[in-house]
Amino acid sequence: RFLWTRFLNFQLYQQILKKDRDIVKILSKLEIFEMRIAKAETKLNTLIHDIVVNEEEKRISPITEQSKEIILKKQELEEVKKMIEQEKLSIMGASKVQSNINE
């Protein structure tokens, strides 16, 4: 009975380690997405800056369709960033709850 209990504890420990590794993989993928988003955000900011400077130089008051599209893309990017942050928090929260249950 003692050996059986140790065996079950060992199996449970292995499952916890596997879930922890899975969580780390997911978090690292989310970090990669965040880096890609940061690059895209930098490009968008550069484009927006160029458009603003260009429009100021030409003294054009209306915003062009391209400018509107870029601004919309930036807003979409902000929403995706928020979703990723929420997902990270929920994954980390679930991980903490799981570890508390296992303790």
- Asked whether the predicted pLDDT for residue 2 surpasses 70, the reply is yes
The overall pTM is greater than 0.85: no
Which one has a higher pLDDT value, 34 or 64? 34
In a domain, 12, yes or no: yes
Structural domains of the chain, count: 1
Q: Which range marks the domain in which residue 68 is found?
A: 2-95
Which one has a higher pLDDT value, 34 or 55? 34
> Binning pLDDT at 50, 70 and 90, where does residue 55 land?
low
In a domain, 27, yes or no: yes
Ordered DSSP codes for 6-67: HHHHHHHHHHHHHHHHHHHHHHHHHHHHHHHHHHHHHHHHHHHHHHHHHHHHHT--SPPHHH
- Asked whether the predicted pLDDT for residue 65 surpasses 60, the reply is yes
> Any idea which of 40-49, 67-76, 79-88 has the lowest mean pLDDT?
67-76
